[in-house]
Chain A
Amino acid sequence: MKTIDVQPQPILSLKRIFAIALSGVKYRLFRAVVTVAVITVAMAFLMNILTESLIKKAVANSARDQIANLHRVDQWIARLSVPQTGEQIIAGLAQADPADPYVAELAGMSGKTPDDLASLQATARSAQEYLQFFQDMNYGRRRVLVGRAESARIFDHLQDPGAYDKFTANLSHMKTLRFPTEADAFQAFLAEWPTLRDWMGTVRDGQAKAIEQIKKSLGNQPLVEALRNADGDFGETLRQAGFALGTEEAASLSREVKRLDNMLLIESTINNPELRQAVAAKQDILPGDVSVALIWDLIDRSHGAAWYVDEMNKAGLDTEKLDPAFIRDLAGDYAHAQLLKYAERQTLDTGGGLMGIGARMTWLALVSMLVCAVGIANAMLMSVTERFREIATLKCLGALDGFIMTVFLIEAGILGIVGGIAGTLIGLVLAILRMALGFQSLLVQSFPALDLVKAGLISILLGMILAAIAAVYPSFRAARLAPMEAMRIE
């Protein structure tokens, strides 16, 4: 049989193919615009979610200390009312720096020196790690592994050799679980555990005694009231009882108590009809529309604080504890505190998941990626199917399948990159605007520029890759057909 003497077809330069793809895009501008629009919307959606999550994460990180400050008083009241739980002590010790006053406090409570705590601190760190492992597990599995034991009791439970064997045997069957350390290390830890537990017992005893002592010195005075003097006598009392209270901490604690006190006092005035009337008259609104925020707003104005204290006096309220200059400051704090509370609520979820944006957001981002993929695949499918005739013609002229696929992939890539950039920018801007409305000054402090650039690049790249992948299948199918079959499909 004769053969046809084929010469290999030259590979066209990428520049040439690029030019062909580009002129195709230009010619079908409307179709291309629709495809780009689909990609844009999809990528904008994804980028919006990513941006909001990253901003929330950054705000949460930067506001963490300020938010913790909001709870400072609660924490001290708790510490001065009951001894800490084992888990609290473990967590506190594991996280503390050896020079931390808290370490000294623990040492003092148990009649040791801070240096003695070094080995206990190591054990506490392991304990923390294992506790996290058990806590992340679902209840059913924990039940199988350690029975009804909870938190630190698990370690007590595993002191029993039978329970320990059962635990290791069951653990080896749970293939998806990753135990944080080798078995040897865990055994060594379990051997150390009783020492830590017993020491924590002495700490708790020490704390109970200290609390008793403070109660006695307080007499009938409520604890909150006494804390106003945390930077004075009462702070001295606390230190003598063995609590680590730095001067700075004492100052902010007493300020915080005063702040809460005054705030409560001011905010309770909203229930006073005369004051309502006065505020309404000054603001020229109905008494029913007076709100807490409005009162703070008024106090924040020049002479507002003095005027309000005056009005309170006229209404027969006790203003002895109120200092106009101080409540003027409070008004400034009020907005910021509201903001922090808002930030705390909004950022509860952050921490885990992809790039630290939280599990729920990771899930949303993945779903939106899926939506993007489907949308882009559909757009590309349409745009390739529409052009079967052109593909068939090119094949009649001797184009190889590879050439046709390259043209379409490049075209899809161009559309993907344009849509990706547009979508990313739109998503980014919208998300920043929305977050800026909510977080205001907090956002400026913690704007995660670098993370956002990274996310933007990822999402542009993703748009391009998704578009190219989505074009692979239809163009492959079209390229493989006999030319006339392709023409018939229309």
Chain B
Amino acid sequence: MTTPATTESRPAERRVIIRTVGMKKIYQRGMETTHALRGVDVEIYTGEFIVVMGPSGSGKSTFFNMIGALDSPSEGRTFIDEVDVAQLTAEELAFLRCRKIGYIFQSYNLIQYMTALENVTTPMAFGGVSPDEARSRGMELLELVGLKERWFHRPIEMSGGQQQRVAIARALANQPAILLCDEPTANLDHKTGDEILDILQRLNQERGVTIICATHDHRMMNICDRLMWIRDGAIERIANRNEVEVELASID
């Protein structure tokens, strides 16, 4: 509970931060139509750590893009902080993406010609942070993800795990209230994956950041609050972690 802005104690004051209503996404490619999402209704609360599970191709990334205001649904609505994303102007969207949400992409999406530090400070520049402050804050964030010594490296000179950690530092640049992660550990070895999980858990617990994480990784189950299963573009099940743990225990 270090960051004052997010000190609400979770169980006491649960506010809905993301809500989707009948969200569908249909991809049309030539003659081929893919129903990537077939009507998803879900509510996500502030300070929550929610894990989205599902086989590959089930629509996790599509869901992630929708609630992150990165793509528009074919049908249905997304509310972020009770604001309908479809109603936002270009400036408001930019503001939202810059200040409210941090994104960690499956494929990192770092800017190849920028150093680690430049990648981290770019969103700060869009957010109006002065270059000097951006630099010191960027270094702090790189320290958080354990890459302080490599601030001048370009993505091409770093391993997948290091790139993923730069991507995390970048996602935290403007102290977002929501962190969206698309398979953050998918391309990493076991040990690095553990480190990443640790970082996410700390963010959630110490800073109260709402984390939505699409993943295959079962280790995630140990640190999340809720789990959501998607199959063929529809929600199969949503459950609290303790319910699931009970089930697992009963299987044993």
Contact = CB atoms under 8 A, between A and B. Distances in A.
Contacts of A6: 91-92, 95
Interface residues of A, number: 33
Contacts of A485: 71
A280 to B, nearest CB: 71
A71 B205 CA distance: 100
Interface in A290-318: none
B88 interface: yes
A1 B71 contact: no
Given A24-B113, A393-B111, A398 B99 contact: yes
A393 B72 CA distance: 16
Given A6-B95, A9-B91, A396-B97, A23 B109 contact: no
Contacts of A12: 125-126
A3 interface: yes
B94 interface: yes
Interface in A395-409: 395-401, 403
Contacts of B72: 482
Interface of B: 65, 68, 70-72, 80-84, 87-88, 90-92, 94-100, 103, 105, 109-114, 122-123, 125-128, 131, 170, 173-174
Interface string A22-43: 0110111000000000000000
Contacts of A399: 94, 126
A4 interface: yes
Contacts of B170: 397
A400 B83 contact: no
A23 B94 contact: no
Contacts of B131: 16
B83, B100, B113, most chain A CB atoms within 10 A = B113
B126 A2 contact: no
A482 B81 contact: no
- Report, nearest first, the 6 A-B pairs whose CB atoms are least far apart: A398-B98, A27-B113, A484-B71, A10-B128, A398-B126, A397-B123
A16 B128 CA distance: 13
A8 interface: yes
Interface of A: 1-4, 6-10, 12, 16, 23-24, 26-28, 389-390, 392-401, 403, 482-485
A6 B95 CA distance: 6
Contacts of A27: 112-113
Given A1-B84, A9-B126, A482-B72, A398 B95 contact: yes
Contact of B70 (A8, A389, A390, A484): A484
Contacts of B80: 4
A279 B44 CA distance: 106
Contacts of B88: 4
A400 B70 contact: no
A25 to B, nearest CB: 9
A390 B94 contact: no
Given A1-B84, A397-B126, A389 B71 contact: no
B113 A400 contact: no
A433 to B, nearest CB: 39
Contacts of A393: 109-111
Contacts of B81: 2, 4
Given A2-B81, A393-B109, A485-B71, A401 B90 contact: yes
A39 B132 CA distance: 38
B128 A9 contact: yes
A396 B173 CA distance: 13
* Most chain B beta-carbon neighbours within 10 Å: one of A398, A399, A482: A398
A26 B95 contact: no
B98 A2 contact: no
A175 to B, nearest CB: 47
A4 B90 contact: no
Nearest to B114: A23
A94 to B, nearest CB: 66
A486 to B, nearest CB: 10
A6 B125 CA distance: 16
A390 B112 CA distance: 9
5 contacts: A9-B94, A10-B128, A23-B113, A398-B99, A398-B174
